[in-house]
Amino acid sequence: MSAPKLAGGWPLLGHMRAFQKDPVAMLARGARDLGELHQFRIGPQAFVVFAGPSAHTAYFKAPDDQLDAKSVYQFTVPMFGRGVAYDVAPEIMAEQLGFLFPALRESAMERFARIMFEEVDMFANAFGDEGEMDLPEEMNRLTVNIASRCFLGQEVRDQVDAGFADAYHDLQAGINTLGFFFPRLPTPTHRKRDRARQQVVDILSRVMRQRRGAGSEAQDFMHALMRARYKDGRALSDDEAAGILLTVLFAGQHTSAVLSTWTGLELFRARDYLERVREETRIVYGENHGENGAMTSVHLKAQSAMENAVRECERLHPPLIMLIRKVLRPMRYGSVTIPAGALAIVSPAVSHRLPDVFADPDQFNPDRFAPPASEGKQHQLALVGFGGGRHRCMGKNFAIMQIKAIWTVLLDRFDFSLDGAFPDPHYGSWVTGPQRPCKVRYRRRAQAAIVH
């Protein structure tokens, strides 16, 4: 039998109008009315939604020759380039990403923690005693600074304000709904995207040439790729290395910026919990703990209240509202057969608010991840904001540590308040942040900084 069909489709268009208006509300209606699996249609294309931990297990355990990401994410090829990521076979993509694992070892995380603090410290010092900021814009700027320095090296970080950030912003604009369906349509946005990619590749290639000429080494992704060899012994070209660097930068930075924004917004209005986070900071970084307030990965790990806030924002506001695969050969789930040619979807934005998985799912409650509730441990695929199975985001731990570092420093230095109502999600972007403008007011706190 086939998956039950969502009601309300139009002739020819299917559910396009409802999807464009509010995709999450439409998918949530299907999960609520039809259960773990349901299908809808946009034009001639059938989509099948997998909702809930058991359905997630089937989805994430399916082999690549059955549920294929490459077919879906071809819109990323103009951004990342030929011969990398979704332009190659899954086993080659896995080999390429595998080159980077040594640069994410525990020893690297200690170095990253110090870089994160230094970047947030500079960011905080640049603001006056009080004022207003566009939070999504500032979180994007800050995470670009952190990611470029951690992943690409100090040489690239030094060029962020000299062209890299602007080019990277134009590349980010290439992630849009039109680009998903028509990635090579010669729109002004896509032409800017293509010019920006070449500019970024030129910057990265120049840094790699300079490193080779100087015989210098660094503990970052760029150096790992410069040393890497495929199984057949071949070295990566500079264009391949640049494409892989762009892939991981996009995967980590854009989503981290959005999740960091939502984390701040939720904490600003949850005043009681925010004070608990600050009290935890005083305990972890106080004079009787650690290295007199110096931020390290050990101290960041000890901040469980802060981490639970980040995880709760991943649940309520997952940056990617949909994960999509193409069905290459029929797939069975229970009594349902999903036919070849359909697009299979997991929606974290829907599954994270299922009432039989999370209690009071629309409420911000970080304590749901702490004992005794421990709702995140009831199933390993209950929370899928960073994907699942072998396709889980390799930078998840880095992303969570970065967001914890950002808000540890900023909440230590400032009081914040939202200027206006709590924003709705902006579904027009592939990575779902808040509607703009999203202004927050800040005032520097009188007491001396605890964290340094």
Look at residue 363 in the predicted model and tell me its pLDDT.
97
Q: What is the Cα gyration radius of the chain?
A: 22
Q: Tell me which H or E stretch contains 344.
A: strand 343-346
Look at residue 355 in the predicted model and tell me its pLDDT.
95
The bridge status of strand 439-444 relative to strand 67-68 is unpaired
Backbone angles phi, psi at 422, to 5 degrees: -65, 130
Least Cα distance to 179 among 73, 23, 324 occurs for 73
Question: Cα separations (Å) of 196 from 62, 98, 141, 225?
Answer: 36, 27, 17, 22
Query: 430 and 177 in contact (C-beta within 8 Å)?
Result: yes
Local confidence pLDDT in tens for the 452 residues of the chain = 899 999 999 999 999 999 988 999 999 999 999 999 999 999 999 999 999 999 999 999 999 999 999 999 888 898 899 999 999 998 899 899 889 888 777 778 899 999 999 999 999 999 999 999 999 999 999 999 999 899 888 888 888 776 788 888 888 777 776 677 778 888 888 899 899 899 989 989 999 999 998 888 778 889 999 999 999 999 999 999 999 998 888 877 889 999 999 999 999 999 999 999 999 999 999 854 445 678 999 999 999 999 999 999 999 999 999 999 999 999 999 999 999 999 999 999 999 999 999 999 999 999 999 999 999 888 989 999 999 887 788 888 999 999 999 999 999 999 999 988 999 999 877 789 999 899 999 999 987 678 77
Query: 144 and 253 in contact (C-beta within 8 Å)?
Result: yes
Compute the distance between CA of residue 386 and CA of residue 188 in angstroms, rounded to an integer. 31
Least Cα distance to 112 among 254, 219, 208 occurs for 219
Q: Read out DSSP for 14-73?
A: BTHHHHHH-HHHHHHHHHHHH-SEEEEEETTEEEEEE-SHHHHHHHHHS-TTTEESTTTG
Look at residue 448 in the predicted model and tell me its pLDDT.
63
Look at residue 451 in the predicted model and tell me its pLDDT.
79
The one-letter code for the residue type at 60 is F
Query: 145 and 119 in contact (C-beta within 8 Å)?
Result: yes
Look at residue 287 in the predicted model and tell me its pLDDT.
56
Q: Tell me which H or E stretch contains 229.
A: none
Compute the distance between CA of residue 431 and CA of residue 319 in angstroms, rounded to an integer. 5
The bridge status of strand 343-346 relative to strand 45-50 is parallel
Query: 14 and 42 in contact (C-beta within 8 Å)?
Result: yes
Q: Read out DSSP for 372-434?
A: TT-GGGS-TTS--TT--GGGS-TTHHHHHHHHHHHHHHHHHHEEEEESSSPPPB-TTBSS--B
Least Cα distance to 344 among 90, 64, 43, 39 occurs for 39
Backbone angles phi, psi at 297, to 5 degrees: -65, -30
Compute the distance between CA of residue 250 and CA of residue 262 in angstroms, rounded to an integer. 18
Contacts 24+ apart (CB under 8 A), 86-95: 90/64, 95/230, 95/231
Look at residue 66 in the predicted model and tell me its pLDDT.
97
Burial of 219 (0-12, 13-18, 19+ CB in 10 A): middle
Q: Measure CA 152 to chain center.
A: 18
Question: Cα separations (Å) of 193 from 134, 311, 350?
Answer: 24, 32, 31
Number of other CB atoms surrounding residue 65 within 10 Å: 9
Compute the distance between CA of residue 94 and CA of residue 381 in angstroms, rounded to an integer. 21
Q: What pTM was computed for the model?
A: 0.93
Compute the distance between CA of residue 298 and CA of residue 290 in angstroms, rounded to an integer. 9
Compute the distance between CA of residue 355 and CA of residue 32 in angstroms, rounded to an integer. 10
